[in-house]
Amino acid sequence: MSSKPVEQLHQVIVRFAGDSGDGMQLTGSQFTSETAMLGNDISTLPDFPAEIRAPAGSLPGVSGFQLHFADHDILTPGDAPNVLVAMNPAALKTNLKDLPKGGTLIVNADAFNDRNLQKAGYAANPLEDGSLDEFQVHAVPLTTLTVGALKDVEGVTSREAERSKNMFALGLMSWLYGRPVEATESFITTKFAKRPEIAEANLKALRAGYAFGETTETFAVTYEVKPAKLKPGIYRNITGNQALSMGLVAASELSGLPLFLGAYPITPASSILEELAGYKQFGVRTFQAEDEIAAAGAAVGAAFGGSLGVTTSAGPGIVLKAETIGLAIMLELPLLICDIQRAGPSTGMPTKPEQGDLLMVLFGRNSESPVPVVAALSPSDCFHAAIEAARIALKYRTPVYLLSDAYLANGSEPWLLPDVSTLPKLDVDFATEPNFEGQFLPYLRDEQTLARPWAVPGTPGLEHRVGGLEKADRTGNISYDPDNHDLMTRLRAQKVAGIAADIPELEVDDPDGDATVLVLGWGGTYGPIAAGCRRVRANGKKVAHAHLRHLNPFPRNTGEVLRRYEKVLVPEMNLGQLLKLVRAEFLVDAVGYNRVTGLPLRAAEVAEAIEAMVGSA
C-alpha cells in the first residue's frame, strides 16, 4: 500500500496503447483481472489490428486496450479515457485525439527517439514542442528503468529485458490505482513456468514499476476506486467468446446431446473453436474443417446423427454457409450458427465490431427460408443467449442464428455466475416408434410446435430418407406438387413465426412510465444505449429503452410497444437494418442513429441523439 495521499474516484477509464509486440493486450487483461479481484464493476474494449505483427513503431501496428472500472454498476468501456498510457510515438499519435483536455498521459520517454518519431509521422518531438501542454504528462523512461531493474537476472537477453517494460508499466499503474498485484504475480509464474528466468524478469519488472510509483515524485497521489455494490454472489470476469463457449457446453449438458462444433479459423470467432477444443472432458467434438462450408456441413451431419450441431464464424464465413443452412431448413434439423459480426463488406476490418449481418442472416438464402435469430447483448449474455438459441433449435428442429460481435467477443465484464440448477432443461424427445398406422412419417408435425419428429440413425423401424428437394407434407417423399409446395412453404414459415408464443415479451425500461421517446436496440449496443439513457435521465429528460434479444420472430408485443411512443430511435452499428425491419413490419416511422466506424457507439453520442429527438417531440 502507498504512503502517499489517496484520492477517491468513482470511476476511471484507462487506455493502454503500444506496438502489437509490446504486450498491451496482456497488460490490459492483467490490469482487468486485478481490478476484478478488487470488486469494481468493469467493462473492457480490446482494440487490436488484424495483422499479426506490423512493423515495429508503425501506425497500423498500434494495439490498444481500454478498460473502465468503477465503484458502481457501469455499462460500457467508456467513451474516452481519463488516462492514456502510450508506449511509443505511434501509439500517442493514434490515440491522443481521444484523450480529453486535462487528461493524464503516461508515455515511455525512451521510445521517443528520432526513428520512432519519424515512423509515426511526427516532424518534432511532442514531448518537447509544447503540443501536449493541455494534458498532465508523465514522461517515464520505462525501457531504461526496466532494463536497469533486470540487469542482475541471469539468462535474460537485453531484448527480453526490454520486452518486460509492459510489466513495469503494469506495476506502475497497479500502484497508481491501488490494485493488488498478487494475481498478476501468479499469472506470470504459471505462464512462464517453462522459462523461470523470464518469469523472474517479468516479476522483477512488475515490482520495480510498483516501487517506482511509490518512490518517484512524479506521481504525488494515488487513487482509490472502491468496490462496486453489485448483486451478491460469485463473480468471474468473462469475455463474450468465453461465455458463448460455456453456453454451448451448458446446452449440451442440459439437453444430454453431445456437442459437435464444425468451424474454420476466422477472426473474431476462432477463440470459440480453441476454447471448446479444451473441453473434451465434456464429450465435446471440435472439428477444424477444410473450409467454412465443410464446417457447417459436418455440423449438419452430426445433427442428423443426434448431436447438438454448431458452426461458428464471422460475416465472410457465414455467407459461405448459406446453402448448407438452407439444407438444414429443408431437413428441419437443429443447427446453431454463431455469427461473431465484424466490419465488412468483404474482408472489411476483421478485428472491429459492426452489426451489419442482421438482414443477411434473415434473408441471405435462396427462396423463402425462415430462420430464428437470437442476439446477445453483453459479453456475459452470450452464455444465456447460446442456451436460448439451442433451446429453440432443438425444440423446433431448425437452424438458429446466434449473433454476437467483435466487441462482445473480446470485451469483458464481471459475470454473476448462475446456479447451474436454475438453467432451463432442454429435453429432446427423439422418435422411437412409428407415428401413423404402423408407419413412420418423418414430416408428420407436432400440432403445437409444427416441429417434425426427430428419428436418428440407429433407431430400428424408423428408417427414412431426407433431402434438400421439396417434400410431401407428412410423408416426406419428394414432391413437386404445386399445392404441396405452397403448403410446405407456409408451414415452414408458420413454424418459425409460432416461436413467438414461446419467447418472453419485450420489456421496456421506462422509470417514470411516461416517456414519449423509445430507444430500440439489439445486440452489443446495449451498454452504450443504456448508458446514453442514463445520461439523458440525469439531465432531467425522459426516455424509454427496449432491447431485442430475439430478432426473428420478434416478441409478440413488439408492435404494441412501439406504437405506445411518439418517436422511436434505433441506434445501430450499420446503416439501418433493424430500422428497416421495424418500419416494414410494424408501420412505425422509426428513425435510425447509425455509425459504421468499427468502434462501439459512445454513450455520449447516443445521449445526444436521444436528446435531439426528445427535444423535438
Partner 1 sequence: MSEKLTMKDFKTDQEVRWCPGCGDYAILAAMQSFMPELGIERERTVFVSGIGCAARFPYYMNTYGMHSIHGRAPAIATGLAASRRDLSVWVVTGDGDALSIGGNHLIHALRRNVNFKILLFNNKIYGLTKGQYSPTSELGMVTKSTPMGSLDFPFNPLSLAIGAEATFVARCIDTDKAGTTEVLRAAAQHRGSAFVEIFQNCPIFNDDAWDFVRDDKAGVNRITLQSGSPILWGADHEKALRQRSDGSIEVCRATDDGILVHDAEHESASLAFALTRVTQATHGGTPVGVFRDVQRAVYDDLMAEQIETATEKQGKGDLAALLHSGETWRIS
CA distance 67 to 25: 11
- Let me know: does 112 contact 127? Beta carbons within 8 Å: yes
Question: Taking the complex as a whole, how short is the minimal distance between the CB of residue 243 and partner 1, in angstroms?
Answer: 10
- CB closer to partner 1 out of 20 and 369: 369
- CB closer to partner 1 out of 39 and 178: 39
- The single residue listed with the C-alpha cell 479444451 is 278
- CB closer to partner 1 out of 49 and 309: 309
Give me 304's grid cell: 442428423
Question: Taking the complex as a whole, how short is the minimal distance between the CB of residue 384 and partner 1, in angstroms?
Answer: 12
Question: Taking the complex as a whole, how short is the minimal distance between the CB of residue 422 and partner 1, in angstroms?
Answer: 11
- The single residue listed with the C-alpha cell 439531465 is 539
Nearest in space to 170 (alpha carbons), one of 263, 99, 67, 51 = 67
Q: Edge-to-edge, what's the strand order for the sheet holding 567-572?
A: 508-509, 544-548, 517-522, 567-572, 591-594
Question: Taking the complex as a whole, how short is the minimal distance between the CB of residue 274 and partner 1, in angstroms?
Answer: 15
Question: Taking the complex as a whole, how short is the minimal distance between the CB of residue 14 and partner 1, in angstroms?
Answer: 19
Cβ-based burial of 578 (10 A; exposed 0-12, middle 13-18, buried ≥19)? buried
- Let me know: does 48 contact 64? Beta carbons within 8 Å: yes
- CB closer to partner 1 out of 212 and 235: 235
- CB closer to partner 1 out of 305 and 434: 305
Question: Taking the complex as a whole, how short is the minimal distance between the CB of residue 246 and partner 1, in angstroms?
Answer: 6
- CB closer to partner 1 out of 123 and 234: 234
Question: Taking the complex as a whole, how short is the minimal distance between the CB of residue 457 and partner 1, in angstroms?
Answer: 4
Q: Edge-to-edge, what's the strand order for the sheet holding 83-86?
A: 41-47, 62-70, 11-19, 83-86, 104-108, 136-140
Nearest in space to 508 (alpha carbons), one of 561, 569, 568 = 561
CA distance 158 to 116: 19
Nearest in space to 493 (alpha carbons), one of 600, 333, 383, 369 = 369
**Where along the sequence are the contacts to partner 1 (CB under 8 A)?**
33, 36-37, 39, 183, 227, 229-237, 246, 249-250, 253, 258, 260, 262, 279-285, 287, 289-291, 293-294, 297-307, 309, 323-324, 326-327, 331, 417-418, 420, 457-469, 477-478
Q: How far is CA 228 from CA 34, 69, 180, 236, 412, in A?
A: 14, 9, 16, 14, 16
- CB closer to partner 1 out of 237 and 574: 237
Question: Taking the complex as a whole, how short is the minimal distance between the CB of residue 300 and partner 1, in angstroms?
Answer: 6
- CB closer to partner 1 out of 289 and 581: 289
E-strand ranges in 81-199 read: 83-86, 104-108, 136-140
- CB closer to partner 1 out of 456 and 604: 456
Question: Taking the complex as a whole, how short is the minimal distance between the CB of residue 297 and partner 1, in angstroms?
Answer: 4
Mode of pairing for the β-strands spanning 335-341 and 11-19: unpaired
Q: Is 57 left (phi over 0), alpha (psi -120 to 50) or beta?
A: left
